[in-house]
């Protein structure tokens, strides 16, 4: 390229730059419309409307007359003083959930079977939360999301889960976790609920606790426990009944088909579901062998005890027997022919036939006076009780662990196990009672010992309470059945028909 051509090229470039920087903007500014005139302050609404409706460049027409307040009133009512803004209602969990993205996917309190929901439940044991979820579903993304929701609220700590703590995991048909429920107890419960595709909301559940009184009447058609259930009670009522009469009535031996009962009992309901019985208020039993017995709960010195209507206790001081047994093979007899020695020797106790290994319990509180091998007694336990009384348990096969002579013993405490040691013809327990240095008949003595009656100073309050409890029982009449009969004279103990064996 020649020098002349180069100069021409440079001049053309300079011209183009000048046109782009100066000429074009000026041209656009010249064709841009002028700004609208400012609106005068205080201009009326009709004037503003007319001005807005006039095309640019056209003459502004004469506006209509100014509108009055009546022209702008559609309902013809005086506005009056301005009403205060209503207070915002308290936000509930449901309200909070509605504000979250994906509210339509929130699934609060699902029930098994709803929308194909599966419910997995159990205790944690030694598993972590991750291991629990992995054992039921492949939705492992929910683990991190649930843990984050719990961490934000600081409701509980997954690292402090106890083996007996319970969980319920609600999963949709596709396996995704919809809700996780964690229960530390019946009244401490937490829910972590899905609130969107990948987020959860955690909250503590307010579990209602309610105490109720239930009244039930029924007829015995088999075992007493099954008859209670058939009448509408939970099976857990049976231990409460036997605990009241365990030292005076044998419900395993003396119950007969057709016997009748009715009971008023306090129940604890948690979360709208039955949880447990708290105590029996009144109980009545009409039996062909047991006779007619009633028990009414009454508090003395802060403890609930049970009494008959006349104030006498229905509970005894001692256990009815030191062990479960099949028969009494030999009773208390000062002139018995010994089955081994074949000579007449006093039998200063009773022989309770039971399989080797049957647990043997202390009949009352006391102190362990002796335990060890004692000649013809075999392995023997002796307990010293208040009132210059001693109880003897002979022919044992083994002792309870951690027995020490001189240690305190509680009624019902395990002492050892039935055996066939010493001078014995078969597995059995020789049970004896010595009172003020003399052996007495255990059957007669245990049957005669009852707990203290209602103190005279509280009899008026007791009678009033009995009247209330009788009214409770009267709300459920006894079914028809055989008349009650006085029980025949028989030992207080026994669990099966008589059988052979033992010394």
Instruction: List the chain pLDDT tens, one digit each, 503 residues.
Output: 555 555 656 566 656 655 555 554 444 444 444 444 444 444 444 444 344 444 444 444 444 445 454 444 443 445 455 555 555 554 444 444 444 433 333 344 454 545 578 889 999 999 999 999 999 988 888 899 999 999 988 889 988 999 999 999 988 888 889 899 999 888 888 999 988 777 899 988 888 889 999 999 999 998 889 999 999 999 999 989 988 886 567 777 788 999 999 999 999 998 788 889 999 999 999 988 888 899 999 998 888 889 999 998 887 778 878 998 888 888 888 776 665 556 667 888 999 999 999 999 999 889 999 999 998 899 999 999 988 899 999 999 999 998 999 999 988 899 999 999 998 889 999 999 999 989 999 888 887 776 788 999 999 999 999 999 999 999 999 888 776 655 444 333 333 333 333 33
Dist. CA 62–CA 47, nearest whole Å: 9
Q: What sign does the CA torsion over 208, 209, 215, 221 have? A: positive
Question: What b/e string do you get for 380-407 counting C-beta neighbours within 10 Å, with b at 16 or more?
Answer: bbbbbbeeebbbbbbbbbebbeebeeee
- Number of domains comprising the chain: 3
Is residue 10 in a domain? no
Looking at residue 204, its pLDDT comes to 87
* Torsion-angle region of 442 (φ positive above 0: left; ψ -120 to 50: alpha; else: beta): alpha
What CATH number corresponds to the domain at position 469? 3.10.450.350
Is residue 444 in a domain? yes
Dist. CA 147–CA 108, nearest whole Å: 18
For the entire predicted model, the pTM comes to 0.49
Closest by Cα among 424, 418, 425, 429 to 356: 418
Same domain as 201, residue 250: no
Dist. CA 155–CA 161, nearest whole Å: 12
What CATH number corresponds to the domain at position 391? 2.70.70.10
Q: What sign does the CA torsion over 396, 398, 404, 407 have? A: negative
Q: Among the three residues 151, 173, 205, which one is the final residue of a domain in this structure?
A: 205
Q: Which residue stretches of 368-410 are H helix?
A: none
Same domain as 249, residue 162: no
Looking at residue 354, its pLDDT comes to 93
Looking at residue 237, its pLDDT comes to 93
Same domain as 116, residue 171: yes
Same domain as 361, residue 474: no
Is residue 8 in a domain? no
Domain extent, residue 349, equals 327-448
Same domain as 459, residue 312: yes
Same domain as 362, residue 305: no
Same domain as 277, residue 368: no
Q: Among the three residues 177, 205, 233, which one is the final residue of a domain in this structure?
A: 205
């Amino acid at each position: 390229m020649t020098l002349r051509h180069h100069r021409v090229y440079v001049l053309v470039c300079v011209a183009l730059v000048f046109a782009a920087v100066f000429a074009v903007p000026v041209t656009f500014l010249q064709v841009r419309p002028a700004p609208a005139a400012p609106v005068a302050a205080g201009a009326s609404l009709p004037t503003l409307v007319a001005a807005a409706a006039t095309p640019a460049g056209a003459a502004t027409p004469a506006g209509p007359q100014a509108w009055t307040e009546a022209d702008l009133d559609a309902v013809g009512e005086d506005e009056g003083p301005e009403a205060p803004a209503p207070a915002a209602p308290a936000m509930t969990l449901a309200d909070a959930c509605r504000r979250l993205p994906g509210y339509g996917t929130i699934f609060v309190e699902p029930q098994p079977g709803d929308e194909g929901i599966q419910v997995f439940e159990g205790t944690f044991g030694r598993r972590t939360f991750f291991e629990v979820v992995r054992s039921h579903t492949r939705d492992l993304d929910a683990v991190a999301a649930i843990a984050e929701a719990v961490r934000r609220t600081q409701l509980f700590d997954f690292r402090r889960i106890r083996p007996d703590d319970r969980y319920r995991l609600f999963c949709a048909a596709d396996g995704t976790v919809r809700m996780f429920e964690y229960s530390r107890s019946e009244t401490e419960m937490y829910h972590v609920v899905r609130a969107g595709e990948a987020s959860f909301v955690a909250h503590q559940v307010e579990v209602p606790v309610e105490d109720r009184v239930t009244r039930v009447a029924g007829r015995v058609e088999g075992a007493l426990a099954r008859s209670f259930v058939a009448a509408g009670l939970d099976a857990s009522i049976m231990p409460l009944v036997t605990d009241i009469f365990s030292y005076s009535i044998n419900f395993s031996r003396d119950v007969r088909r057709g016997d009748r009962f009715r009971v008023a009992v306090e129940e604890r309901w948690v979360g709208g579901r039955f949880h447990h019985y708290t105590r029996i208020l009144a109980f009545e039993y009409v039996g062909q062998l047991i006779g007619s017995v009633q028990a009414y709960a009454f508090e003395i010195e802060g403890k609930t005890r049970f009494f008959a209507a006349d104030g006498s206790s229905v509970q005894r001081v001692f256990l009815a027997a030191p062990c479960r047994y099949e028969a009494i093979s030999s009773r208390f007899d000062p002139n018995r022919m010994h089955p081994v020695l074949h000579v007449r020797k006093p039998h200063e106790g009773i022989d309770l036939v039971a399989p080797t290994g049957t647990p043997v319990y202390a009949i009352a509180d006391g102190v362990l006076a002796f335990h060890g091998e004692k000649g013809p007694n075999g392995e023997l336990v002796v307990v010293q009780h208040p009132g210059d009384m001693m109880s003897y348990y002979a022919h044992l096969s083994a002792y309870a662990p951690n027995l020490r002579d001189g240690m305190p013993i509680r009624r019902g405490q395990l002492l050892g196990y039935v055996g066939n040691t010493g001078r014995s013809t078969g597995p059995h327990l020789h049970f004896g009672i010595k009172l003020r240095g003399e052996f007495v008949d255990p059957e007669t003595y245990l049957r005669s010992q009852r707990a203290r009656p209602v103190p005279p100073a509280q009899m008026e309050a007791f009678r009033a309470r009995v009247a209330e409890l009788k009214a409770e029982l009267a709300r459920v009449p006894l079914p028809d059945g055989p008349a009650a009969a006085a029980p025949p004279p028989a030992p207080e103990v026994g669990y099966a028909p008589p059988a052979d064996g033992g010394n």
